[in-house]
Amino acid sequence: MTQLVSDPLGDLDEVAAQVADGHSIPYAWYGSPEVFRFEVQNILRQSWHVAGPLAKVARPGDHFCCEASGVPIAVVRGQDDRVRAFVNVCRHRGYQVVRSDGNRRALQCRYHAWTYNLDGTLKGAPGCELDPAFERDEVGLLPVSVDILAGVVFVNPDPDAPALCDAHPTIASWVTSLQLDLSEYAHLKQTTFQADGNWKLVYENASECYHCPTIHPTSLTSVYDPRGEREICDEALVVAHAPRLDRGGRGIRAIMAFPGFVVQQDDYIGVSAQIIADAPGRTRLVADLYANPDCPEGEIAEHTSLWERTFDEDMDVVEVVSRGVTSGAISFGRLIAPKEERTVHIQRLMVDAYRQAADALRAT
């Protein structure tokens, strides 16, 4: 029996058996503050997140801010051309050092003007010479893990995290075979979508297209053919491919990784997106949209609108589902495994992640 004494997750062996039997994870996991705390501390803050387009840090001094599971993060390209990422919290009194995208020779905190070099070391702090015990070396910005793939910057709040391609061993080969590369696409804009619902509902919904014909008839499925979707699941990845209805061809290709990032593109438009868990019942989807420089102007506006409508529809679904699963009226859902291979896969990934995290906790 895999059970922690004060474990809000309950008996994980029982849940695993339930999932193997074609059922969902317990609905109680979608609303419980204890489960949420467990996830944030033991899963989400040790996971890779999409930070944003590599194009935002193209030149030395370029920087942007993002967030990874409640941790504010600054991504910076140094004078040595290296891309680094830091906890975006001033070591003085906690103000956010980087407040917007830009280019600087140093990063100055607006609160009391402590200034950091682009490699995160403290350059100076007004009045620090008055304190003989003040050690500059001890108060640099805290580094986090950073990686780059397909023209996208990824971050992991855990500074000792395995590299992205070690955490997701087949991701690089999928990126190559699906021809995913946003490095030549121009960044259009970042949009945030919000839902009053648990992050797992956003993740589950984004990983399946069973709902596409009913929820997205005038958005996603008016352009892409969900029936033509090819999907292959391995370790923590979901891979999808849907041809365009009008042109066929390569269509849209996507990878989605547990616990919550997406990179996708077709010949015109690209999206990198990150699910951000704010609270047990509140989630954001932060999406960066990109365009192929050869994409006709009219197509850009049309595709931008298409994806924004699609994400809005998805977030609406999440809110309605959230009210159902957190009502306490039903304990779990029944899935159709042959049809919902990806959803079943996701349920297994979650149980495995909880089990690993619980085992790691028990070992400490």
Position among 37, 105, 112, 362 found at the interface with ligand FES (CB under 6 A): 112
User: Using the rule CB under 6 A, which residue among 11, 103, 111, 279 binds ligand FES?
Assistant: 111
Is 109 one of the binding residues for ligand FES (CB under 6 A)? yes
Closer residue to ligand FES (CB): 100 or 364 = 100
d(CA 275, CA 265): 18
With CB under 6 A as the rule, give the number of residues binding ligand FES: 10
Stretch that binds ligand FES, among 53-61, 104-112, 151-159, 348-356 (CB under 6 A): 104-112
* 266 lies in the site for Fe ion, by CB under 5 A: no
* Residue 92 binds ligand FES, judged by CB under 6 A: yes
Residue 203: CB minimum distance to Fe ion, A: 12
Maximum CA pair distance of the chain?
Answer: 71
Q: Could you tell me which residues come within 8 angstroms of residue 208 by beta carbon, excluding any fewer than 6 positions away? A: 340, 342, 343
- Asked if 141 and 120 count as a contact pair (C-beta separation under 8 A), the reply is yes
Rounded to an integer, what distance in angstroms lies between the CA atom of residue 291 and that of residue 271?
A: 9
Question: Phi-psi bin for 249: left (phi > 0), alpha (psi -120 to 50), beta?
Answer: left
Residue 236's contacts (CB-CB under 8 Å, 6 or more residues apart) are 167, 168, 257, 258, 349
Contact pattern from residue 31 through residue 70 relative to ligand FES, giving x for each residue in contact according to CB under 6 A and a dash for the rest? ----------------------------------------
Which stretch in 77-85, 87-95, 144-152, 165-173 sits in contact with ligand FES by CB under 6 A?
A: 87-95
User: Which are the contacts of 31, defined by CB distance < 8 A and separation ≥ 6?
Assistant: 198, 280, 281, 322, 325, 326
Which residues lie closer than 8 Å to 364 by C-beta, 6 or more apart? none
**Which residue of this chain has its Cβ atom nearest to Fe ion in the complex?**
314
What is the helix (H) or strand (E) element at residue 328, kind and residue range?
none
Stretch that binds ligand FES, among 112-120, 181-189, 216-224, 249-257 (CB under 6 A): 112-120
57, 68, 75, 90: which one binds ligand FES (CB under 6 A): 90
> How many Cβ atoms are within 10 Å of 234's Cβ, its own excluded?
13
Query: Is there binding between residue 99 and ligand FES (CB under 6 A)?
Result: no
Q: Return d(Cα 66, Cα 85) in angstroms, integer.
A: 10
- 90 vs 149, beta carbon nearer ligand FES: 90
Q: Applying CB under 6 A, does 114 fall inside the site for ligand FES?
A: yes
Residue 314 binding partner per list Fe ion, ligand FES, none, with a CB distance cut-off of 5 to 8 Å that depends on partner kind: Fe ion
Nearer to ligand FES, 109 or 257 (CB): 109
**Per-residue contact flags (x/-) with Fe ion for residues 303 to 342, judged by CB under 5 A:** -----------x----------------------------
Partner from ligand FES, Fe ion, none contacting 123, C-beta within 5 to 8 A by type = none
Of Fe ion, ligand FES, none, which one does residue 228 interact with (CB within 5 to 8 Å by kind)?
none
- Least distance (Å) between residue 81 CB and Fe ion: 39
Considering only CA atoms, which of 286, 241, 228 is closest in space to residue 267? 241
Q: Within 13 Å and on the Cβ side, how many CA atoms surround 121?
A: 7
Single residue of 82, 93, 99, 105 touching ligand FES by CB under 6 A: 93
* Token output for 86: 């830091």
* Tokens 């986090």 found at: 144
User: Which residue in 3, 19, 103 sits closest to 60, CA to CA?
Assistant: 103
Closest CB 129 distance from ligand FES, rounded Å: 16
Tokens coding 45: 């803050």
Q: Which two tokens stand for residue 289?
A: 């949209």
**HSE (CB half, 13 Å, CA atoms) of 152?**
31
Residues within the interface to ligand FES (CB under 6 A): 90, 92-95, 109, 111-114
Residues within the interface to Fe ion (CB under 5 A): 314
